[in-house]
Structure 1
Amino acid sequence: MTFGYSAILLPQLQSAENPENTLSIDKEEASWIASMAALPMAIGSAFGALSIGKLGRKTAHSLSCIPTLIGWLLIGHSTGIQMILIGRFVTGFFAGYLASATGVYIGEIADPKHRGFFLGGISISVSSGLFLCHLMGTFLTWRTTALLCAVLPLVSQLIIVFVPESPWWLVDRDRPDEAERAFYWCRGVTDESKKEFEALLERRRGLDHTESLRDALVPEFLKPLGIITVYIVANQWAGINAITFYSITVMRETIGDGLNEYAAMLLVDFLRFFVSIAACLQLRRFGRRPIALVSGVGTAVSLFTLSAYLYAVKSYPETKCRYIPIACLVLYMVFVTGGFVPLPWAMMGELFPSKRRSLGSGVASFAAFSAFFSVVKTTPGMFERLGADGTFLVFGAVALFGTGFVYACLPETKDRTLHDIEDGFKKRVGGKS
């Protein structure tokens, strides 16, 4: 909801029919309102990484709820642009804070056979939040939408009370009895789960729990860190969040007049939500590499096609056909949501070694949200200087680069235990690792 809110807030504040004239904004203020949520996400992810290591995964989730609630209330009751910016900063900071914890927690509690499905749930939650926020903003004022968004962190605070702490974190803190209860609460008591828990205890007994910089300069940490960081930055610069934050503007630039931009935005949101569910199911059935490659190629091709169409229309206006950009945007959303977006976040809970999972997730999240901010802040300028065709060409080129990188470097992790994945990086990395 934090990601999607600016798409309905900005058009209402910029509207000539805006009844709250005291809060009307110009283009520069609009870009800051949109990017103000992205600006603190990188900082928040660093604090989140520290929290999940020192305080625990569950505690980190819990600590994000009340401040997020306060942020939404500030926006809903704002009397000036400054309060909106503060509210956006707070909600953005804790969205970043939470990002480090979510994939790590899910990866540590889920059965290897179902881990991909549950990690894909992160993408479903983002898609459903976007759709609900945009749906409310289509029919309600931006104030009412913000106040309704405030309900979610309150519900989350109540739910988190009933789930256990990560058994991996509890073992690291030398609390094996609590770890055992948490592990079996999540997995059930079966021969397979007993065997895996015993392997977890045995592995942790043999590790030195002291931390130093030298511990991070090992292949099993540096290799997955490099893979996820490059992949997740390419993910951001493939344009998904630029389109998310400026949905209405993108619809107007690519499709033109005569179309209900809000209806088109909701259609794309619904499609993204549906594809996110399908992606979760595919992560159970297919490996990470084939999904990443198909998704990356489809994303690049749809962006290149959209760029070529928009360039052609500038020179030959008579060739204009609104169904082409709609089809390109639909295909783009299908391919990018089907793998390119969820996979880097999901793999944070899989690729990093247990001892450095907090640090790795924090560094990768910091890089992701730094790229996130740069994309959201520069997208209006790119549309103005490069045009819509040039902007989508840049996004497509980055998507193509990210796909080539995945082909060369990403190992397959489907159905492998976290121990096996860590051991694999000690030896080598690549498509056959």
Structure 2
Amino acid sequence: MSFRDDNDEGRDLRKPFLQTGSWYRMGSWQSSIMGSSTQAIRDGSISVLFCVLIAALGPIQFGFTCGYSSPTQESIISDLKLSVSEFSLFGSLSNVGAMVGAITSGQMSEYIGRKGSLMVAAIPNIIGWLAISFAKDSSFLFMGRVLEGFGVGIISYVVPVYIAEISPQNMRGSLGSVNQLSVTIGILLAYLLGLFVNWRVLAVLGILPCTVLIPGLFFIPESPRWLAKMRMTEEFETSLQVLRGFDTDISVEVHEIKRSVASTGKRTTIRFADFKRKRYWFPLMIGIGLLVLQQISGINGVLFYSSNIFSAAGISSSKAATVGLGAVQVLVTAVATWLVDKTGRRVLLIISSSLMTFSLVLVAIAFYLEGVVSQDSDLYSILGIISVVGLVAMVTGFSLGLGPIPWLIMSEILPVNIKGLAGSVATLLNWFTAWGITMTANLLLSWSSGGTFTIYAVVSALTIVFVATLVPETKGRTLEEIQSSFR
């Protein structure tokens, strides 16, 4: 395809992109950089992959926040003289901040775009980590955690939506799963670095993903679907052309996207009464259901307090075991990223939930038996090993489907004109549930480790039923086809 648009008297399609700055328009120095690198990213797949890698810095920050509390619990409690309840509050405050971020994320991304929202999200993350690193008492510690959470709440919604909206349909599943893969990488980095540096230095290192994300956003295009919704036709076609490659004919995709947004205004107001229509409430119910069940499975309780759980299971090197758990999570999520466009979303979700149910039952039984067996017996050691194997199997199952796929499906099924409001609601409920699990995990484990994992196992079993009866398959379909199917 020529770089010129036949409908606009030879307009060069590259020109608006190369001349755009802040969110869309770039200054002259950025223009020269992009001009020299245009030849290198003419292939659409490379261009989309580059955009995904930049956006993935946000979920790495997300994962680092989740993983930070596990290797630092003992040292923070010791240095700042905190109680276990105060540290549990610290661990859960990121979820409180994320709830506030989730409320604003949908509408923010509709008004200033996906890139603008990520830029906003990066700033409180940086301030939050600095507040934690310099904390002399619990007040700065708590404030920093809330600020981190606010940024993460925005990131958790915006990144999967941005990736889904820029990806071609045959790559959307794999590229969308990069979101969760990046979260697991962030968790592993927190676990691994926590072995070698103290909690203050670890907090300083937490700044790095966002400090790279901010300049990186200037070198990737805005979501073409958001630009189309905003009636920014020239920027929309230019963004899509850059993403698909300058030699690719985008006319069919342009027509589909324009037709999809034709019935909505530039900033269509959706009222809660509109959610009585099945085309709106049904995809929202599926999105909320998956994101809530993802958290009630107890994954955040396991990841936030994995070192303590391993200690309770009789593992002497609990921090090393936690790093191993993080490594398993990264590897399995990478496998899921490869599989999701081959096997489909539903199959992976059912396999994932089934494996989690089995492993959680195994862990629960092991902890129940540990309570009645002498700690000096060989059976007690064997039960400790079974507990660790079960936890690894649980994380493996989660990483295979229930971790990456709910965010992917949420970004695929919500209609474009309700995505901001509905996405905020779904993300808010996900973080509210995560807060509840994080806040209660330590208390539940103190009450009964076996009972705690029994509760999580029942939830995982219910997830199998939910997916089998309600969740549609979205593999190989365009976003416009998926969303129109709910009509």
Shorter chain as denominator, the TM-score bin is: over 0.9
Alignment match of 2:485 (pick from 420, 424, 427)? 424
**Percent of aligned positions with the same letter in both sequences?**
26
Distance 1:358 1:236 in 2: 22
> Which residue is equivalent to 1:139?
196
Please report how far the alpha carbon of residue 333 of structure 1 lies from its aligned counterpart in structure 2 after TM superposition: 1.2
> Which residue is equivalent to 1:314?
371
How many residues align structurally? 417
Distance 1:233 1:221 in 2: 18
**Residues 224 and 239 of structure 2 are in contact (CA less than 8 Å); yes or no, is this contact kept in structure 1?**
yes
AA partner of residue 423 (structure 1) = S
Alignment match of 2:401 (pick from 339, 347, 353)? 339
Distance 1:190 1:116 in 2: 24
> Which residue is equivalent to 2:338?
281
TM-score normalised to the size of structure 2?
0.83
> Which residue is equivalent to 1:398?
459
Alignment match of 2:349 (pick from 292, 301, 305)? 292
AA partner of residue 311 (structure 2) = R
Pair 1:352-2:410 in alignment: no
Distance 1:242 1:305 in 2: 17
> Which residue is equivalent to 1:116?
173
**Residues 121 and 150 of structure 2 are in contact (CA less than 8 Å); yes or no, is this contact kept in structure 1?**
no
> Which residue is equivalent to 2:431?
369
Query: Residues 262-321 of structure 1, C-alpha deviation per residue, up to 9 Å, x if partnerless?
Result: 110000000101111111001121111100000000001100111012112222344321
Distance 2:265 2:123 in 1: 36
Gaps of 5+ in 1: 427-433
> Which residue is equivalent to 2:291?
232
Distance 1:415 1:188 in 2: 20
Distance 1:84 1:101 in 2: 26
Please report how far the alpha carbon of residue 248 of structure 1 lies from its aligned counterpart in structure 2 after TM superposition: 1.0
State the SS of the aligned residue for 2:476: coil
> Which residue is equivalent to 2:269?
211
Please report how far the alpha carbon of residue 85 of structure 1 lies from its aligned counterpart in structure 2 after TM superposition: 0.7
Q: How do residues 81-230 of structure 1 correspond to structure 2 at under 5 angstroms?
A: 81-189=138-246, 193-209=250-266, 210-213=268-271, 214-230=273-289
Alignment match of 2:468 (pick from 374, 385, 407)? 407
Distance 1:250 1:187 in 2: 47
Query: Residues 235-275 of structure 1, C-alpha deviation per residue, up to 9 Å, x if partnerless?
Result: 1011111111112111112x215x20111000000010111
Please report how far the alpha carbon of residue 96 of structure 1 lies from its aligned counterpart in structure 2 after TM superposition: 0.5
Moved more, 200-209 or 133-142: 200-209
**Residues 123 and 151 of structure 2 are in contact (CA less than 8 Å); yes or no, is this contact kept in structure 1?**
no
**Residues 131 and 270 of structure 1 are in contact (CA less than 8 Å); yes or no, is this contact kept in structure 2?**
yes
Pair 1:383-2:442 in alignment: no
Please report how far the alpha carbon of residue 206 of structure 1 lies from its aligned counterpart in structure 2 after TM superposition: 3.8
Pair 1:4-2:61 in alignment: no
Distance 2:346 2:249 in 1: 27
State the SS of the aligned residue for 2:417: helix
Distance 1:217 1:354 in 2: 17
State the SS of the aligned residue for 2:195: helix
AA partner of residue 178 (structure 1) = E
Distance 2:477 2:349 in 1: 17
Distance 1:373 1:131 in 2: 21
**Residues 100 and 358 of structure 1 are in contact (CA less than 8 Å); yes or no, is this contact kept in structure 2?**
no
> Which residue is equivalent to 1:48?
105
Query: Residues 108-149 of structure 1, C-alpha deviation per residue, up to 9 Å, x if partnerless?
Result: 110010001111011111100011111111110000011111
AA partner of residue 309 (structure 2) = V
State which structure, 1 or 2, has the greater radius of gyration over its C-alpha atoms.
2
Please report how far the alpha carbon of residue 332 of structure 1 lies from its aligned counterpart in structure 2 after TM superposition: 0.9
> Which residue is equivalent to 1:327?
389
State the SS of the aligned residue for 1:140: coil
Query: Residues 164-200 of structure 1, C-alpha deviation per residue, up to 9 Å, x if partnerless?
Result: 1111111111111000011111122466633111221
> Which residue is equivalent to 2:314?
256
AA partner of residue 8 (structure 1) = P
> Which residue is equivalent to 1:14?
77
> Which residue is equivalent to 1:429?
none
